[in-house]
Structures are given as C-alpha cells and as structure tokens.
Structure 1
Amino acid sequence: MGTAAGLRSAGRTWALGSCGIFYLGIAAIAWGAVTWVEVGAWTYHYSDRGDYAWEQARNYCQTFFTDLVAIQNKQEIEYLNRSLPFHKRYYWIGIRKLHGTWTWVGTRKALTKEAENWAAREPNNRRSNQDCVEIYIKRPQESGKWNDESCNQKKKALCYRASCQPFQCSQRGECVETIGSYRCECYPGFHGPECENVVQCAKLEPRGVHMNCSHPYGDFSYNSTCVFRCQEGFEQRGADTLRCLPSQQWSADTPTCTAISCPVLSAPDQGELNCSHLYGDFTFGSKCAFSCQTGFALTGPESRECTATGTWTGDSPHCEAVACPVLSVPDQGELNCSHLHGDFTFGSRCAFSCQTGFALMGPESRECTATGTWTGDTARCKAISCPVLSAPDQGELNCSHLHGDFTFGSTCAFSCQTGFVLMGPESRKCTATGTWTGDNPRCKAITCPVLSAPDQGELNCSHLHGDFTFGSTCAFSCQTGFVLMGPESRKCTATGTWTGDNPRCKAITCPVLSAPDQGELNCSHLHGDFTFGSTCAFSCQTGFVLMGPETRECTATGRWTGDAPRCKATACPMLSAPSWGELNCSHLHGNFAFGSTCDFSCQTGFVLMGLESHECTAMGTWTGDTPQCKAISCPVLDPPSRGQLSCSHVHGNFTYNSTCTFSCEKGFLRMGAEMLWCEATGNWTRHAPVCEEDGAPFLKQVLAYSSGTALALAGIVLSGMLIALLAKRLSNREEKKKLLNPTSDLGSPGIFTNAAYDANL
C-alpha cells in the first residue's frame, strides 16, 4: 500500500491512492486507481500494496479509516468473502485476545458465543502466542472462517469506515451499523427515526404543596424530576419525589399536605382556658391562653402553642393558692394558725402570744391576703434589757446572751490583755430588774527592771503604759566606728522580763592586711588589730618602687582607705639585639626590670665590641653600654702586576663576605684563582694570583719552524737551540708555580692546582 486518505464533504467521499475500496449496497470497487463515489454508509477498505503485522495493520486502518473491520453478522462475512480478492496470507480483522478473552478492539466488547466464526479446530493457540485473528478469504476450504495467528505475521489490513457518527441518533440512542446504512436504537424515553422526540408526561399543578422541578429534555418530559415538600407544621402524604417515566406516567401520585394535630387541652382547676385556631381545633398554629381566679397564681406558661412537631410549647400550667411567707413562733412566745387552701396560703389566719416575763412587740394576729402578703408587721417577744457593758482599757469583754444582747440572763466575763493584771470582779450578770451584779473592773500594766546604755553606745526607749513597763521598747546604738554586738532593741514582756541579753559595742573590723611582695607593712592599733582607727604604712625593698598609697586607714564602714599598694621592680630601658647579633635575657621580676640579665652574641663573621653580659640595677640602669657586632677583616689585597683588581664589600672594605675578582692585561695569563672571598676566620679563600707573560706564541713559532720533512744541518742546530731555550723557560715557570702554590702537593686549596697551571701554559 502506498498512501491512502479519505475526505468527507457535502455528503461525498473521495478515496485517493492505490488501495482497494468497496461499499456495501453499492457495486463500486476501485483497484489501484483513483475514483470517487458518493456514499453515506459503512465502507470496507484493504491494503493491496503491502502486508503488515497486526499492530501495523491496525495503525494503518486507524490512520486512513476507522479501525480494523468489526464483523457484526454472517451477511458481512459472505459479502467480504465474495468481494475481496484472494491473498495467500489472508487478511487481519479487528479481534484480539486481551487478558485471555477474545475482544473486538474497536468496541471493546467481548466476542459472544453466538458470534463466533472459527474454522475447525480453531483457535488452537499454536506455540502459545497466537493472540490475533485472520479471516480466510476465498480459501479452498472453510472460506470466510477465522483462525488465530501470531500477531507478528504479515498480512493485509482489512479496514472499515463507519457510517455511524457522534452526532447521529441525536445522541439519545445507539447507532447500529447495517449493510449499506445504519439504524438508531433509541434509549428509553426517546423515539423517532433519529431519536429526536421525547416522551411527555402530564403537567403537575399541586395545591398547598411546594414543588421544585428540573427538566433536562423539556417541561414535564422524560426524566423530568419534581421534588415536593410541605410548609412547616404540615404533614406530607405521598412520595417526596416524582419522575417522568418512559411510559409517559409519573412514578407516583401527587402528594398532599395536612396540618399536624396536637392533643386537646383543658382549663386548670381554679382557672380558665381561651384558645384560637388557624387550621383546625388544636392543630398546628393553635394558641391557648391560661388564667387563674382571684387569690390563685398560675404556675407554668401563660400560653401554649401547637408546634410543627405536634406538641405544645411548655408544660401544662396549674393554679395554686397564693402563698404567704411561712410564719414562725416568736422566741419565748406561741403561734396558733387556721388554713383554708393550704398551709400559709391565701385565707390563712395566725394569732401570737408571749411567755411570762416577755412582752409582745407587734400585732396579736395576721392574715394571708390575695397578694401573698400578711397583714400587719412581724410580732416578737422581747426580754428585759440591762445597760450595755464595755471592756476595760487593755482588757477584753466576753458575754453570753440567752435572749438578746445585754438582756435578762446575759453573763459577761472580764480579762486583761497579755502584760496586764485585772483589778476588780472577773464577771457580772444581768438580773430580772435590768441591773448588773458587782462593779466595773480595770487592767494595770506589769513592770520590768530599769535598763542603761552600753559603753561606746546609746539607749533610746519608748513607753506605752509607763516607764519600763509591759510594752516598753528600748533601742541600742553604737558610736561611729563601732558595731552593736547583741540585739538592737529589747522589749518588756508580759512576764516582767526583757527580751534578749544586754548588748555591747565592738570596734568595727577591717580585713587583715599583708605586706606586698618585696615590701613591708607597719601598723598601729587603737581598738584592736585591724579595727576602726588602725593605720598601716607600706614600704618596698631595694630595687622596688611602691605603686599605690603609702598608708591606709580602717574606716567606720569596715573598709580600708585607698587600694592595696604593690611593689614593682625598677624598670630599665628595653634592650635590643645589635645588628648581626643576638640577645638572650632572663627576667626575675618582669621584662627588663631590676634583676634582669641579658647576654649578647654575634653571628658568624662578626666579633662583639663591648661587654657580653648586662644587668639591670636598682637604679633602673644597665651595667655597661650596649655592645656592637663588627665584621671580621681580611688582609688588604693589591692588584697584580700587569693586572687589575675588582672588589665588592658587604660589611666594609676587605671584611667578612667581601669578594675580589682578578684579571690580567693582554698578553699575560692569570696564574691562580679568578675570585677570592673573605672568610669568617679573617683569611681569604686563596692566595692572590699573578699575571705571567703568555708563552704560547713563541712555542707556535718553534713548532712551525721544525715541522718540515727535510731539514738542513743548520736547521737542526738552530732547532736544538730553540728547544733548549724553551726548556729553560718552562723550568722557570715551574719554580714560580711552586712559589705561588706551595700547598698544592698536600691537596689543600691553592690559587691553582698543577693541572690548572699546566693548562694555562
């Protein structure tokens, strides 16, 4: 198959490409050519230029058409077997085993037993991987039957393009493909060729009932739903919800509402009932008012209302006789009552009387009225009174009263407060004549011994009830610089003794002082060691200076004047190491202070000029002057004869680390080292070199003159003379070499070694 595409416009389908196209109900099949046919029904297609695995075949069908063919009946099988060309590998159809069940992939519906079209002994699932299905087209045996195959096998794709579209059947029914057309199977509640009509139910118009409806397909049509409810206080009879059924009938009858009833009420005893009714006697909304006769009070609600739940508000009221407060028998008296409607209620009457010796205060009788109050005031029996007694000064009064304060029978006891003694009778009693027995008593304060002030102190007393008597308080204090030892105050007690012991005044003590390090302490005492008034003087040993006050005095606060002094070592100027030298110090009393010792030394190549050791004296000066380090000198060098000398000096002319370089004039050779260095020993590393005449040109002349192959006798004589002269010169140079390098034979460093010397020759 090359390419294929299907276009739908204005009811026409164009099929492009080299694919087979055929239509049910229309004898139009194009084989490898471009054609168009106007159709509106199910069409079949196949790939005539390529074979595909099952998944590829389905992808091909879904790309250009709807899907792999889904066979719905035997007629389709006969039509396909008759119309399709024979292909030795046959055709894939849209059925596959999914989760162990043969399923039409386009509709996701399982293959039913009635729709099976398997060939004999199929499906056999050979090699356990035959999950896809082919159809035998024009096979000699069992043509049009199905066979399970491996999904990887290559076959032609048998496709279909559906005539059913999403907009068909008004989306209210299922579109069923038929040969050459389709039909609509309408859902319940719909009818018509395209399911365009909706079932209608009778319009609902209830009375006295609230209705709320929803109409998905039109007013009071299929699936319209109406919800009913009654007003509060009414009871619904019938279904809450009605729905329009496909049968054009409502699911139930229209409900009705009736007022809810409450129990019948009656008037209370000694009372009346008055009711009003809205929807019927004693039904929802009915209201009843209650009242009572004169002298009776309503207990409970004044009115009750029938509620939506069928119950009355509140509890049942009743009429009770108005109650008056309960009367009690007066003390030392009697009470006699008569009651009509209950104890101490409306109409009750009570009479009062008193015992002998008591007088009635108030009315002799009282009556309970309709307002719940008694006529007259409260009656009582009052005992005869005696004059009121009071407690003596610094004393107390304790009375017991039988019939009222300070009345007949009352008894009063007298006592004195702590520290006082009673003078007179301990108790008195109120008699029947209204008088007290005995005379009034009094209370007198107890006395303590007289006190005196302590030495170095003072006494200050306050007296409440007389000098040095109970309650007197004496405060003790000391003069400045003294502290009180003992109680600050003493008090005269109820036993006639003073609290605490006699106090005394002691001089205030300051902290014990000690001599400072490297110092001394000298103190004088007035009232004891290190007490108020003591004075201490401080001094330091030789080489130390006092830092702080020279004297301190113990004050009245127990503190010393000033801060604690200390002895500080006398300081010397700080020393530093000389240039090219080092400093090493030991300190006894602080850095560069009295007793410190410093030693000086110089680095290699330098010599100390001055004392090696200095000590810090008690005067704050160092013994000796600060030394210096001076570079060690080597002998002064002179330039060689017929030569030059060039020197560099680090620490001074011809001193430690100075270097000198030698050179000779043209025609002269340096005999010895080129450079000398001044060592820390004061010696140069080598002897100074000398410049000698260069003998190399003379030797070359001799060799050139004697190099011929044929020499005359005169030439031989002359050559001998020249060689003798040369030997003499060499002998003279050897002697000079030994003179300039006398230690070369011992292996010590010299100006030149023998080998170096010979090389310069």
Structure 2
Amino acid sequence: IDECSQNPLQCGPNSICKNLLGRYKCSCTPGFSSPTGNNWILGQAGSFTCTDVNECADTTACPAYATCTDTKDSYYCTCKRGFLPSNGQSKFKGPGLKCIDIDECSQNPLQCGPNSICKNLLGRYKCSCTPGFSSPTGNNWILGQAGSFTCTDINECNTSGTCPEHSNCVNSVGSYSCECQDGFTSVNSTCQDVDECSRNSTLCGPNSVCLNIPGAYRCSCLPGFFMPDISTPEHPDTFKCTDIDECADIEMCPINAACTNTPGSYFCTCHPGFVASKGQLNFTGKSEKCRDIDECLKDPSPCGSNSICTNAPGSYSCSCTVGFRPNPEGSVKHGNFSCKSNNFLVCLDNGICVLL
C-alpha cells in the first residue's frame, strides 16, 4: 500500500513521505524538525510531527553586526543600523557574508549638518560643533541619543571679559573680534590710550593747551585768552582761543596810569608826571600805584633862574620872582621857561634907577 498517496497525509504538514515496502518513511522539509527524528519509519516509537526550526538559536547563523529573523521553514539576516551587507542585499543568509560598517561622515548631505565635525564610529557616528558653535543636545552627540544635532553660533560677546578694557566686542559667525574704542590703540592684545597731544602739538591751535584724557583729549586756552561760544572743548576742530582785552576793565590799572593790551596779557604805564611806586616803567597788578613826581625838586630847577616852581599832580608850574617877568620867547612850554627883569620900573622920588 502506498501510504504516501493517502489523504490525509500520513506524515502531517511540512513533511516528506516516502513509501517503503509494507510501510513508509517520514522526514521534515527543510526548516522543520521532528522530535522523533527526521527519518521516522512507521513502526518506530512515537508519532511524527514537523515543527519549525528556529535557525536564529544558532548564534553563528548570521554574521557579526547582523540581526537574525526566523521565518516559517527558514530565516534571514539583516545588518544592524550603521552596517551594510557585503552582497548588497537587505535580507540574506548563508556563509561568507559580512556586515560592513558604513562611514556616515562621507555621505552627502552631511549627517551632522553645517558648522560641525563628524567622526565615524563602528555602526554609528559622533557629531561635535566647530569652535564658535554649540548644540542644544551637547557637543558630543552620538547617533542614537535623544534629540537631533544642530550647531548654532555662540555669541561670545555675551560673556564678560571676552575683550580687553576700552574695546568693543563684535560677534561674527563662528567667531568674534575686538575693536579698540576711539582714542585707544591695540598693543599686545590690550587697548592703550592714545596721547593725541604728544602726537600733534598744534592739535588745539594757537594760544591753547592740549590735555590728554583717557580715550580723548581736551583743549583749553592759555591765560589771557578765552574760548568763544562757537567752539567747544569736545570738538577741537572748532576750537579757537581769542585774546582777552584786560584793558576793558577800567580797574586793571591804578589811577594815573594807562592800560595797554597785549596778546594774552596787558601792562600799565604811569601817566607823564607820575612814577610807579617800585620804579618800573611797565607793570601789571592792581596793587601797584602811580605817585606824583615833584618836578620842582630837580636840580637844576625846571623853571630856570629868578623863578618859582610850583608842583601840581602830574605836572608843575613856573612863575617869576618879584622884579622879573616871564620872557615871552621862552615861556611856551615846560622846560623852556625864563624870566627877565622889569627894567621899566620907576624909582622913588629922589632915587636913582639902576638896571640890574
């Protein structure tokens, strides 16, 4: 009897039936096995059934870095994330095949994004930002970690002390720069004050003084000069010093003196007939006084012989003694005064008139 042609199947599903003389033999199809052996013959102990074989129980069924998936009557291997099968097929099985590491850092587009550094690891890769950038997920993000990796610019200027004193911080993409403020210059990574006054002696113009201050300079006028309203110390290009007319103050010189203005100063001179108390021809200061000169004390007398000299403030007058009268030819101005005798005088009765 050919038991293998009977229905239902004598060996059961997923089996192969082979008719033998007076009996039959059962074996399982590939991927299945029977607890009674794969070549069960009618009459042996037990009953024949085929159950699926889990090939993945064998750790050598798939190569390293691969995942084994059991199927009905078979299995297949798939490379883990970050690996590629050596035969190029997504599902494979059989000896000699390998899972090769994928260099994600050589792929396009870049896995880590712009402004980043990609480092290939076995089955994955690591992302870090280039200097001047940072990532909200950390600067050493590895594939598989939470979040996605992006690099954003670091504003270094938000950190105090990034730039030296007296400088401004200018942020740029991935970096920054320091610029010295006006009036300062860069020296050995520091900003030092520029002494504008020593660089240009005529910076403030004539009759002025230049004063250096941190980061700038200031102009002021020399004594005896003033700054008009049209110029300001903060804008030296308009700065101009104008002479002060000290003689406009009528009290700059004492009484009986004349005031003479000079650039940046003045001097006093006593009027004719007066002399300074300390004897100077020209002087300054309100403490000095002009005292009257007593011309009548001079020797010889400024009035000449047979005359009387009378002193007056700043001057003097001349008159003749009795018996003399001014000589008209010599009485026009001081220093040329002379007296002549009154030779027309009448003598007393019985007297003789003698002209002296």
The answer, yes or no, to whether TM exceeds 0.5 is no
Which structure has the larger Rg over C-alpha atoms? 1
TM-score normalised over the length of structure 2: 0.34
Q: TM-score under structure 1 normalisation? A: 0.18
Higher relative contact order (CA 8 A, sep 6+): 2
